[in-house]
Amino acid sequence: MNNLDRNNLLKRILTAVIAGSAAISLIIFSFHGLFFLTSIIILMSLAEYLILIEAKLTEISSLLVFLSALIALGVTLPEVEQSKFLFRISVSILVLGVPILMTYQLIAHNGHGFDNVMKLWFGLIWLAPSGFFWLVLSQKNNFYNYQIPLGMLFLVWMADTAAYFVGKYLGKHKISEKVSPNKTWEGFIGGILGNLFLAYILETYWTQSFSWYLIGLLTVPIGLIGDLVESMFKRSRNIKDSSGLLPGHGGFLDRFDGFFFVIPFNWVIIQLW
């Protein structure tokens, strides 16, 4: 391992320890801690996405997207759920967000804002649901269970970490060299084995009304697709990382690309279980 790889690995580990410890603490602390963490992940990822599509973060359209994402997450707060007024206001803002954005684009771009609307709202539809469902999954019968969101996050991390190290040292067969040249089938198998091991621990100590084995197994291929989709976006813009906010990992989009695909699927699986 050369000095560049060693330094990058050290940055990766240090960032994971610091950011991971903060994330775990917030999730265990309370639902509001999870809400705060989720809001940071979604809003920062949205900011990176908007930069990726060359939108100005301070433009009215971008601010409407941020506001819509935050309100979509806020609907899950106990204070909002228990207040008919707050709930109705929140839903009203979400419903009116689309026509307001379209009206603004119509005026600001003299009738040629269709592409901008599609790009802006695609980012919202892509990123916000994962945060919403992650928050919803943590609550059952008005009771907060930190084990569900934390276990799912652990599985996403394990899949990424196992795939990274197995692929780095044993990987030879590329999955999609043009889209993501570092992804290998050996790493993919490593991710599955790592998640099955972690699922065994979760199944043993964190028994739920669903199967951690199924969630852990599906996290790997679904997370991989999310990773490849985000890589496709970056390739279209000819950039390596969505940002440098997380040293060794890139940006929030880079770190949570699999998460954005996995969590909605988990919600569906648990509803059908």
Q: What is the pTM of this model?
A: 0.91
Token pair of 189 as six digits: 């198998």
Question: Cα separation of 113 and 103, whole Å?
Answer: 9
Question: Cα separation of 219 and 197, whole Å?
Answer: 13
Name the strand (E) or helix (H) holding 108.
helix 84-108
Asked which of 26-40, 77-91, 107-121 is least confident by mean pLDDT, the reply is 107-121
pLDDT of residue 2: 60
3-state percent helix, strand, coil for the chain, nearest multiple of 5: 75, 5, 20
Q: Is the pLDDT of residue 110 over 90?
A: no
pLDDT of residue 22: 96
- Name residues whose C-beta falls within 8 Å of residue 156's C-beta, 6 or more positions apart in sequence: 219, 223, 256, 258, 259, 262
What is the average per-residue pLDDT within 201-224? 92
| Other CB atoms within 10 Å distance of the CB of residue 67 | 13
Q: What is the pLDDT of residues 158-186, one digit of tens each?
A: 999 999 899 988 988 899 878 888 889 99
Question: Cα separation of 252 and 215, whole Å?
Answer: 23
Question: Cα separation of 43 and 250, whole Å?
Answer: 16
Task: Write out the residue range of the structural domain in which residue 190 sits.
Answer: 3-272
Q: What is the pLDDT of residues 50-82, one digit of tens each?
A: 998 888 898 888 899 999 999 999 999 999 988
Q: How many domains does the chain have?
A: 1
DSSP 54: T
Question: Cα separation of 223 and 168, whole Å?
Answer: 18
Question: Cα separation of 267 and 148, whole Å?
Answer: 11
Looking at residue 122, its amino acid is F
Looking at residue 224, its amino acid is L
pLDDT of residue 20: 93
Asked which of 3-7, 209-213, 268-272 is least confident by mean pLDDT, the reply is 3-7
